Amino acid sequence: MLNLLTAERIKIIRSKKFWIVLGILTILPIMQAVNSQITVNHGKELVQVIDTVINGATGILMIEKNGLTVLLIISAFICFFIGEEFQNGTIRNVLSLGRSRIHYYLSKFLMAALVSLFGVIVLTALGMISFTVVFGFGEVAEINHYFVFAIKSFITLYILILANVSVYVMIGFLTKNSGISLIWCFLYTIATGFLPDIFQQTSHFKQVTEWFTETFLFYSDFANPSHIAKYPEMVLVSLLTIVVSSTLGILCFNRTDIK
Amino acid sequence: MSETILKVRNISKRYRNTKALEKVSIEIKRGMIYGLIGENGAGKSTFMRTIMGLIKIDEGDIELFEQTGSKGLQHARRKIGQSIETPALYPDLTARENLKVQAANGGVSEREIDDLLRLMNLGNTGKKKAKNFSLGMRQRLAIALTLITNPEFLILDEPTNGLDPSGIVEMREIIQRLVTERGITVLLSSHLLDELSQVATHYGILHDGKLIHELSKEELSRETRQYIELETTEIQKAVVVLDELEIKDYEVVNGTRINIYEHIDDVAAINRSLVLADVNVLRIGTTRQKLEEYFLQLTGGNTHA
């Protein structure tokens, strides 16, 4: 498993796509800070509930602010990261050496998780720095212990992202093709991201939407104490998503013929 | 008796309604260069993939380095190197980086990388990415990748596919060098019997997923060698003349035909002796069954071969 991770590290460092993802996640928070400054200069006031990040302290919620963008960027990266192994035939080089398919699947998942973690750390750190530079560090309303809040919020937001990473990895292994997995990942993200808004209008389907991590990511205010109380539920749903999607992905991959 | 590297018994594989392999049994011993011949779609790649565990078989047994069962085979596969169809490379990595990735995959040291790059004439590729390599260079890099883990058994699927004549000769030399210098056992496939005949020591002919014939290099050369074809109405008298000429390697094919496998250059002298002995010669001349004709004869004349 460590050998596989070493091989993945060499590939990732030399991957243009990885550097493009990192570039986007670096530029995005800086541009948003500048945009917010322009908005304020035009006489508008930033409101935390709407704008999510309004100062350096709320910068910890950059993942929430950019939830959809982060998911789409990471899903595209994962689709190529896995699909190209099938399309270039390089997956044969590993599996024909007698490497376990489970280890191969998990090494891909682990690398995708690490890339996502690194990406969201960069996004959040630069978000906090650039918003602090423009608006000062400030505070998060109704939060007394900022450090604990920051750690809990970041971990919860990352786990919500990780659950989606797990689904994208599963889709990548099921479709075995970058293009097709890209379509399915986008459809999954958009469907689970926007359908809850409709379903939440009815009492019958409201409960169902809470089994999807996007519902929390897109429709929660992570600075609101009533939503902060739901962190354990968010983590539980995310972990269940990771376990179910990974199990399904591994089972299907084990039965797959590699062309 | 030399060690058995690969032994497959009655393996079958079906894709929906198509039988890709049907009860194929092959045994490959250490030191062999086993050539798998068959037209496109005969099942060559499928057979190789089953050995490498890339596709699951529906029935039959695979024994690799005397190991069986999924765990045993998984362990035995660490001694295999493979290159199936198109070279499987990371296009954005250099030759050296591709080798580093494969060394990591195999859990082996990177020490041999320089030697392998030199062995495959890729030592001067520097920072050139694999996507900018010629097909010949990519094929050579693919072989280098297979060698980084020091395999004892090499599986090469159509390694000369798409190469120009000089590339084909180069690839052939590389394979022969690997066998003589490193003692590697090789299973390679091609749809060109003529090309395989220059390297392989044993042959298996696949047709429609079935192994229809197996033969050694000696048997193949006997089946396809040059000979004198004599047609006469007096076989017995002709045989007496051949015995007097001390020709021993001949075969009476039927009541009017004899194939003579020696003294190929003495057609005129043999004809003169037959005429002098009053043998009624209808036709005499040298002939050779081409390898491709032999293959077509076995497979029932499929012109794709």
The closest alpha carbon to A63, from A122, A120, A25, belongs to A120
C-alpha count within 13 angstroms, C-beta hemisphere, residue B134: 9
CATH architecture group of domain B226-292 = 2-Layer Sandwich (3.30)
Average pLDDT over residues A116-138: 93
Which pLDDT score is estimated for A141? Answer: 83
Dump the DSSP string for B239-302: HHHHHHTT---EEEEETTEEEE-S-GGGHHHHHHHHHHTT--EEEEEEEE--HHHHHHHHHT--
Q: Does B85 touch chain A (CB under 8 A)?
A: yes
Q: In chain A, where do the E strands start and end?
A: none
Residues in contact with A136: Cβ distance below 8 Å, sequence separation at least 6, in sequence order: A55, A56
Q: What does the H/E/C string look like for B11-33?
A: EEEEECCEEEEEEEEEEEECCCE
Judge whether residue A121 has pLDDT over 50: yes
CATH code, residues B4-221 = 3.40.50.300
> Tokens at residue B232, please?
């006469």
> Tokens at residue A171, please?
């889709």
Confidence of residue B289 (pLDDT cuts 50, 70, 90): low
Confidence of residue B290 (pLDDT cuts 50, 70, 90): low
Which pLDDT score is estimated for B303? Answer: 41
Q: Does A251 touch chain B (CB under 8 A)?
A: no
Minimal Cβ distance to A98: which of B49, B77, B93:
B77
Which pLDDT score is estimated for B305? Answer: 38
Question: Using CA of residue B239, residue B244, residue B247, residue B249, what is the dihedral sign?
Answer: positive
B4-221 and B226-292 agree in CATH topology = no
Average pLDDT over residues A60-78: 93
- On whether the CB atoms of residues B274 and B281 are closer than 8 A, the answer is yes
- On whether the CB atoms of residues B111 and B87 are closer than 8 A, the answer is no
Alpha-carbon distance B160 to nearest alpha carbon in chain A (angstroms): 18
Q: Does B76 touch chain A (CB under 8 A)?
A: yes
Interchain contact, B104 vs A257, CB within 8 Å: no
Bridge partners, residue B215, by sequence: B203
Which pLDDT score is estimated for A73? Answer: 94
User: What are B237-277's pLDDT values in tens digits?
Assistant: 999 999 988 888 888 888 889 988 888 888 888 999 999 99
Average pLDDT over residues A139-144: 84
- On whether the CB atoms of residues A155 and A147 are closer than 8 A, the answer is no
The closest alpha carbon to A147, from A51, A60, A28, A254, belongs to A60
Dump the DSSP string for B165-199: HHHHHHHHHHHHHHHHHH--EEEEEES-HHHHTTT
Which pLDDT score is estimated for A116? Answer: 95
Bridge partners, residue B252, by sequence: B258
Rounded CA separation A49/B275 (Å):
112
Minimal Cβ distance to B93: which of A14, A91, A255:
A14
Confidence of residue B136 (pLDDT cuts 50, 70, 90): confident
Contacts of A89 in chain B (CB under 8 A): 84-86, 88
Q: Compare all CA atoms of chain A with the CA of B99 and give the residue at the minimum distance.
A: A7
Interchain contact, B149 vs A97, CB within 8 Å: yes
Interchain contact, A92 vs B107, CB within 8 Å: no
Confidence of residue A150 (pLDDT cuts 50, 70, 90): very high
Which pLDDT score is estimated for B83? Answer: 85
Which pLDDT score is estimated for A158? Answer: 95
> Tokens at residue A116, please?
């996502």
Average pLDDT over residues A30-41: 91
Contacts of A14 in chain B (CB under 8 A): 90, 92-93, 97
Minimal Cβ distance to B82: which of A6, A10, A96:
A96
Confidence of residue A102 (pLDDT cuts 50, 70, 90): very high
Which pLDDT score is estimated for A32? Answer: 92
Integer CA distances (angstroms), A12 to A6, A20, A77, in order = 10, 12, 11
The pair phi, psi for residue B232, each rounded to 5°, is: -150, 160
User: What are B34-76's pLDDT values in tens digits?
Assistant: 988 888 888 888 999 999 888 888 899 999 988 888 888 888 8
Question: Residue ranges of the domains in chain B?
Answer: 4-221, 226-292
The closest alpha carbon to A172, from A57, A49, A81, belongs to A81
Interchain contact, B54 vs A93, CB within 8 Å: no
Average pLDDT over residues A43-72: 89
Contacts of B145 in chain A (CB under 8 A): 93
Interchain contact, B105 vs A93, CB within 8 Å: yes
Interchain contact, B85 vs A89, CB within 8 Å: yes
Which pLDDT score is estimated for B304? Answer: 42
Interchain contact, B88 vs A97, CB within 8 Å: no
What ipTM was estimated for this complex?
A: 0.81
Q: Does B69 touch chain A (CB under 8 A)?
A: no
Judge whether residue B293 has pLDDT over 80: no
Which pLDDT score is estimated for B288? Answer: 67
Which pLDDT score is estimated for B301? Answer: 59
Q: In B30-152, where do the E strands start and end?
A: 33-37, 59-64, 80-83
Confidence of residue A253 (pLDDT cuts 50, 70, 90): very high
The pair phi, psi for residue B127, each rounded to 5°, is: -95, 10
Rounded CA separation B139/B159 (Å):
7
Rounded CA separation B270/A111 (Å):
77
- On whether the CB atoms of residues B154 and B82 are closer than 8 A, the answer is yes
Minimal Cβ distance to B104: which of A3, A88, A95:
A3
Minimal Cβ distance to A10: which of B74, B82, B101:
B101
- The listed range with the strongest mean pLDDT (B118-122, B129-133, B175-179) is B129-133
> Tokens at residue B231, please?
């047609």
Alpha-carbon distance A33 to nearest alpha carbon in chain B (angstroms): 35
Identify the residue among B90, B100, B113, B147 best suited for mutation to test binding to A, counting A beta carbons within 10 A and taking the highest. B90
- On whether the CB atoms of residues B34 and B204 are closer than 8 A, the answer is yes
Bridge partners, residue B232, by sequence: B281
Alpha-carbon distance B130 to nearest alpha carbon in chain A (angstroms): 12
Judge whether residue B8 has pLDDT over 50: yes
Which pLDDT score is estimated for B2? Answer: 66
Q: Does A3 touch chain B (CB under 8 A)?
A: yes
Minimal Cβ distance to A93: which of B56, B76, B145:
B145
Q: Does B75 touch chain A (CB under 8 A)?
A: yes
Average pLDDT over residues B101-121: 86
Least confident of A130-144, B118-132, B208-222, B286-300: B286-300
Q: Does A11 touch chain B (CB under 8 A)?
A: yes
